[in-house]
Every structure is written in structure tokens, then in C-alpha cells.
Structure 1
Amino acid sequence: MKLASYNNGRRDGQLMLVSRDLTQTVAVPAIAHTMQQLLDGWELLKPQLQELYDALNEGKLPNTQTFDETKCLSPLPRAYQWADGSAYVNHVELVRKARGAEMPETFWTDPLFYQGGSDSFIAPKADIPLASEDWGIDFESEIAVITDDVPMGVSAENAAKHIKLLMLVNDVSLRNLIPAELAKGFGFFQSKPSSSFSPVAITPDELGHRWEDSKVHLPLITYLNGELFGRPNAGVDMTFNFSQLVSHVAKTRPLGAGAIIGSGTISNYDRSAGSSCLAEKRMLEVIADGKASTPFMRFGDTVRIEMLDDNGVSIFGSIDQKVVEYKA
């Protein structure tokens, strides 16, 4: 199934059922008004919604309308949990190499995570408002999963069945604020403003054979100011799959329905695939030339993040955003 949340003037939006080709949509208030309501009652409500989804794709559902991505909020406009990992250890390795630091061996066996702010996600077509270009504005193109209720201590094997939906992510980062925050020994906060998610969230079965071993085996495509920036394959060089990430996060606490778990920046050892964030490209420049030449984002710069199926059709819709100056 494919689902979205339309902006209806309310904080959590209106749950919408979206056709597989992203052309038609319909509200389903008889089943659930919001995405969170659906996730809270997933086992009961999903079969009912599946029947409507099949009818929608067969053109047999009345009262449909043309799907408009610009009306979408993030699928979960706010969430009880947003935890972002760093599943592509190749990316972490580059960060440390660029500053001459050795990487602990435990990074290959124990995932890195930070707990992000989940009360104010940015809509996928909305501007990214920030107060200063000096903060080192960067995008991070990622994938995330949404879970149902996950019991504490769940194994990686059993965690897979708790993954209900997938989305794309722009995990906005302020690179020049990160070093001082990490130096305090207490993690990110100001350096991680509101994130954005794709217009559409999908059930894993929509990916067919491209969803295997709790990984998405397709390129994630990023454009910066209209030019291709990178298209690394999300299923390649992913050290920890999504089941392992969910299990890691739930080691000492249960997760509530609607918890969002991110992959971290998609990164391949094959550098010809490009990158999914400016920081990685700058790191490669430092390693090769001794200095970074690619600037961070400035006001007016745009980023587009999208994933296409084997026929070149958009799967999640696209994140299209512009960085703008925030004035209180």
C-alpha cells in the first residue's frame, strides 16, 4: 500500500490512500483519520485498507481525486519517536579518516544512533528555514522505516515483522555546529533541526524483490540545484539492516507504534555513485586534495531526493526543498 497525509489545517493531517502509480488518492475516514490512528490499530485496520487499495488501483473506487504531492505533510507530521542511525559504516569511516582519526572496531558491530526531534517535521515540498548560512547547512538523503509496537529486547530476526512502512528522509544537518556539541560529550541537538520525509510512505511489499534482507536494493537519487549529486544503491554496503537497527534501538526500551528509525546517510564504496550529503563529498576532497572545495548550502539552494522503480517511476514521490533565511 501507499499512504500519505494531506494538509487539512490540523496538526496530524488527513490520512490518504494513494494509488501505486501516484496518480489518484482518496481519504479513508471510515478506517482512520490520521496515519498515527492507522498505526495504532494496524493489525485490525490494515486488511480493510488493503481491500480499498486494490480497488483504487483497479479504478473501481469512487470519489477519488488527483494526487497532489504539494498538499502532503510528512507521512507522520509528528511522531512519538525519531531515531536515526548510521548503518553505512563506510560513511562514518570517511568522516574519521578526513580528520586523521582511527575508527573503533566496535563501529562494525554496534550501530551508532542519535535521537532526533520528532515534534515538528517539515513537509516534503516546504522550505527549510534556517537563521544562518554560517551553520554549515547540509542535506542527508536516507531511508527510514516506521514500526508498530515493538517489545523491548526484540531480536533482529523478530524485529523484521514490526516494520510496517518505509519512507525517504532529508535529515538536515548543521555541520559547523556539530563539533562543539559533540565535544560536550552529550550528542546532537542544535545541529539537527527538523527533518523531512517523502510525500508517500509504502508497505515493504510494494518494493517486490527490491526489498530483501530488510534492505532496499535501489539507488537513492539526490539532485543539488537541479544537478545530479549522487545515486548510491541503498542495498549495497549497508552494514546493519533495518531489522538490526530496530532491534538495537529496542534493546532497553519498547517502541510505540509510529516509531521512525532511520538508516543514516546512504553511502557506497563505489565513489562513482556519488554521495548523499555534502559532508561526504567534502571529506573525499580533503582526503584527495588536502582541503574541501564544495561549499555547504546557501539560502536559495535546492535539494531533491527521490527513488525510482525498475521502470523509472517514482516510488515515494520526491522531497523538493529550498533553504531560506529564517526571520523570527
Structure 2
Amino acid sequence: MGASKAECARAIWLLGLVNDISLRGLIPDELAKGFGFVHGKPPTAMAPVFVTPDELGPQWDGERAHLTLHVSHNGLTVGTLRTGEDMHFSFADLLHHAARTRPLCAGTVLGAGTVSNRRPGSGYGCIAERRAVEMIEGAMPSPYLANGDTVCIEAFAADGTSVFGRIEQRVRCRAS
């Protein structure tokens, strides 16, 4: 609690890849009932491997991982993104903020949010972002995830090695 940003940067011991899905068709009714996100947030998926920052070598700058993230939806690539490139708040920033008023213990999982790049043609790491851009451009927005859809996410090092392994997450939900 109250650690400096530099202390927080030194406290980052493991890095991993996580996917969190929002079932946006269910969320409005759920929030209206006052329950918060329960059914609108199905189980989060984690890649099978976590790595220490030093294992990334020069692709870890002390606060950000610089990898290539491939995202596909139902087998079609929707994003080839560069992690760290447009990351506004570093992992050290996020940890520093989270630890401002609370003690955090070993094993605390801290998510940095969706990877997004300003670079034209990089694609998307989030369907909501993709839909927003499509609507701004006047195109019919892509549908939200549906029961049975598959999302795959994998991060690669500069040499093409899969860093964390692949997340292959199938959407399973019942709208009723």
C-alpha cells in the first residue's frame, strides 16, 4: 500500500494473457435489476502460461510488454495488434494506482484492459471498439458475440514464438 511507481514496477513478477467477454445483449436488463455484472460476464479465460518479465528480454521495457497480439473471431483475423505501443497507462502505473489505498498481496491479478492501436489496419482486440468504428464510418456494425462463437487470442515474440500459449474461448450462454 502506498508504494511508489518505481517500487510497483519492480513488483511485477509474472505476465499473462487474459480474455474477458461481455455479453452486451444481457447487460442492460441485468443492470436494471440492480445485480451488476453476473450473467453478462461469462467466465474469463487465461492463456496456459505466465512468464516472468525477464523472459521477454528486450520486449519488456520495465513497464510494458511489446508483443504482437493476434485476435480472431470464428476463424477470421480481426486484429494484429502491438501490445504496449499505444498503452496509455503502463502496468507500473496501474499497479501504483491500485496500491494507493490498499495492500496488494502476491498473486494479485491486475488487468490492463483491451489492446488497441491507433495504427491504421491493425484491427481490433474488442468487438465493441470494432462496432463503434464501423458506426462512425457509416457501415453496418458487426454483430456482438453469440452463443457458439469462438474467440482466439495469442501473443507472439519478435521471433514468432507464442509467449503465453493460445486462448481459444467458445461463447456459451443462454439468453433466457
User: What's the TM-score once normalised by structure 1's chain length?
Assistant: 0.49
Q: CA deviation at 1:177?
A: 4.0
Unaligned runs of 5+ in 2: none
The correspondence of residues 202-213 of structure 1 with structure 2, limited to 5 A, is 202-213=51-62
Partners of 2:103 and 2:26 lie apart in 1 by: 31
Structure 1 residue aligned with 2:42: 193
Question: How many angstroms does 1:178 deviate by?
Answer: 4.1
1:270 alignment counterpart: 119
1:322 and 2:170 correspond: yes
Partner of 1:217: 66
Residue number among 142, 145, 148 corresponding to 1:300 in the alignment: 148
Which residue of structure 1 lines up, in the alignment, with residue 129 of structure 2? Answer: 280
Pick closer, same or farther for the CA change 1:182–1:245 going to 2, 3 Å.
farther
Structure 1 counterpart of 2:16, from 167, 189, 204: 167
**In the aligned structure 2, how far is the partner of 1:284 from the partner of 1:319?**
25
Contact kept? 1:283, 1:292, Cα under 8 Å: no
The code of the aligned residue for 2:154 comes to E
Deviations 1:204-230 (Å, cap 9, x if unpaired)?
Answer: 111100000410111211111111110
Q: Counting strand residues as a fraction of each chain, which structure ranks higher?
A: 1
Q: Are 2:132 and 2:141, in contact at CA under 8 Å, matched by a contact in 1? A: no
- In angstroms, what is the RMSD of aligned CA positions? 2.3
Output one character per residue of 1:162-185: Cα deviation in whole Å (capped at 9) or x when no partner.
11101101111122344566789x
What is the identity, as a one-letter code, of the residue corresponding to 2:115? I
Larger radius of gyration: 1
Secondary structure at the counterpart of residue 93 of structure 2? helix
* C-alpha contact 2:45 2:169 (8 A) present in aligned 1: no
Q: Which SS does the other structure have where 2:142 is aligned?
A: coil
Q: Is the 8 A contact 2:148 2:170 kept in 1?
A: yes
Contact 2:31 2:37 in 1 (8 A): no
Partner SS state of residue 217, structure 1: coil
Any residues of structure 2 matched to 1:102-181 within 5 Å, and which?
Answer: 152-179=1-28
Identify which of structures 1 and 2 has the higher relative contact order when contacts are C-alpha pairs closer than 8 Å and 6+ apart.
2
Question: Does the residue aligned with 2:78 lie in a helix, a strand or coil?
Answer: strand
In the TM superposition, what is the alpha-carbon distance from 1:324 to its structure 2 partner? 2.7
Q: Secondary structure at the match of 1:307?
A: strand
For residues 235-291 of structure 1, what are the alpha-carbon distances to aligned partners after superposition, in whole Å with 9 as ceiling and x for unaligned? 1111110001001111111011110000100011123100001111000011110x6
Q: 1:279-324 CA deviation, whole Å, 9 max, x = no partner?
A: 11000011110x6420112222111110111221211110012223
Q: 1:280 to 1:188 in 2, by over 3 A?
A: farther
Letter of the structure 2 residue corresponding to residue 163 of structure 1: I
Residue 192 of structure 1 and its aligned partner are, at CA, apart by 2.7
Cα distance between partner residues in 2 of 1:224 and 1:171: 14
The structure carrying a bigger helix percent of its residues is 1
Aligned amino acid, residue 221 of structure 1: H
Please name the residue that 2:101 is paired with. Answer: 252
Distance 1:216 1:325 in 2: 33
Give the unaligned 5+ runs of structure 1.
Answer: 1-151
**Letter aligned with residue 233 of structure 1:** R
Distance, in Å, in 2 between the alignment partners of 1:160 and 1:209 is 16
Aligned-partner residue type, residue 195 of structure 1: T
1:42 corresponds to which residue?
A: none
Supply the distance in 1 between the matched residues of 2:93 and 2:32 (Cα, whole angstroms).
28
